[in-house]
């Protein structure tokens, strides 16, 4: 599906344009695209894009989708990536958002994302925090940062499911499998209805409920892309790590 030509191209700084100019041509050459649901992505205003994570390659595929539909995503990325050049130059120049994962105040950690949304930015969050370890690559149990950002900002959460990048670069693989050309499947959904959770205290239970609501939407959309039925309970890395240690 071709991008919506009526949308304005997002304004990109030097470093962002450089990354796009380097990444976009190989993606067009070595991958096919099955893009759906772009009508659910608002052309303007702050939005949270929440997506499943199947490969270290999928940020490039998802960034390609969003930029070609008029939104330049600001990724939440671990602060360690901002420490040394050239990644430091790229991440800072492209106005990506550092996350200090071990800071004691969760709200303060996520305040830069809330501020970006107030400026009308597209903030991209991988709620799982890393590529899924679910044996069948369904979304795993997510962290609650996406819920906190959504409720603090009031910005709509656009759920996106993606499938295909893992066929080129499976988790922990270092050599991409470029042939035959694989299809990058992306499905954007309507904003998640979080009205039932607005104006309530941000308890751990509430944040978990909001996060699971978002992740179930993503898992349902992923089923549309790949087939099958997602599990009722999300894979929990902590539980499985404990089982391995006690075995």
In the chain, where the domains are located: 32-170+177-246
| 3-class SS of residue 168 | helix
CA 83 – CA 175 distance, rounded (Å): 26
Name residues whose C-beta falls within 8 Å of residue 110's C-beta, 6 or more positions apart in sequence.
99, 145, 148, 149, 152
Report the residue count for the chain: 247
Q: Specify the DSSP class assigned to residue 163.
A: E
- What distances in angstroms separate CA 238 from CA 75, 143, 164, 233, 235, one per listed residue? 25, 12, 26, 14, 9
Q: Give the rounded percent of residues in the chain with a pLDDT score beyond 90.
A: 77
Which pLDDT value is given to residue 244?
52
Task: For domain 32-170+177-246, give the CATH number.
Answer: 3.40.1130.10
Phi, psi (degrees; rounded to nearest 5) at 201: -55, 140
Neighbours of 187 (CB within 10 A): 22
Which class for 228: exposed (0-12), middle (13-18), buried (19 or more C-beta within 10 A)?
exposed
Phi, psi (degrees; rounded to nearest 5) at 184: -90, 105
Residue 121's pLDDT band (cuts 50, 70, 90):
very high
Mean of pLDDT values over 179-199: 97
Residue 107's pLDDT band (cuts 50, 70, 90):
confident
Residue 101 has pLDDT above 90, yes or no: no
Which pLDDT value is given to residue 55?
97
* Mean of pLDDT over the chain: 92
Which pLDDT value is given to residue 242?
52
Which helix or strand (DSSP H or E) is residue 17 part of? helix 14-30
Could you report the per-residue pLDDT of 26-74, keeping only the tens digit for each? 999 999 999 999 999 999 999 999 999 999 999 999 999 999 999 999 9
- Residue 141, both tokens: 């149990």
Which pLDDT value is given to residue 177?
96
Which pLDDT value is given to residue 246?
45
Higher-pLDDT residue of 85, 36: 36
Is the separation of the CB atoms in 129 and 143 below 8 Å?
Answer: yes
């Amino acid at each position: 599906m071709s991008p919506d030509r009526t949308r304005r191209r997002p304004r990109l700084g030097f470093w962002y344009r450089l990354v796009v100019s380097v990444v976009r041509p190989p993606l067009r050459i070595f991958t096919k695209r099955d893009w759906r649901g772009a009508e659910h992505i608002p052309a303007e205003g702050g939005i949270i894009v929440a997506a499943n994570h199947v490969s270290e390659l999928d940020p490039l595929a998802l960034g390609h989708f969003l930029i070609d539909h008029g939104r330049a995503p600001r990724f939440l990325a671990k602060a360690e990536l901002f420490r040394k050049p050239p990644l430091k130059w790229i991440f800072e120049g492209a106005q990506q958002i550092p996350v200090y994962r071990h800071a004691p105040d969760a709200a303060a950690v996520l305040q830069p994302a809330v501020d970006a949304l107030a400026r009308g930015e597209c903030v991209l969050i991988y709620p799982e925090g890393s590529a899924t370890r679910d044996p069948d690559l369904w979304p795993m149990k997510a962290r609650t940062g996406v819920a906190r950002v959504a409720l603090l900002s009031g910005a709509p959460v656009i759920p996106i499911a993606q499938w295909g990048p893992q066929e080129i670069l499976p988790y922990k693989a270092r050599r991409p499998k470029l042939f035959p050309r694989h299809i990058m499947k992306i499905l954007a959904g309507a904003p998640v209805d979080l009205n039932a959770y607005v104006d309530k205290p941000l308890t751990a239970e509430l944040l978990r409920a909001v996060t699971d609501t978002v992740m179930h939407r993503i898992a349902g959309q992923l089923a549309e892309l790949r087939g099958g039925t997602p599990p009722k309970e999300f894979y929990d890395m902590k539980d499985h790590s404990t089982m391995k240690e006690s075995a």
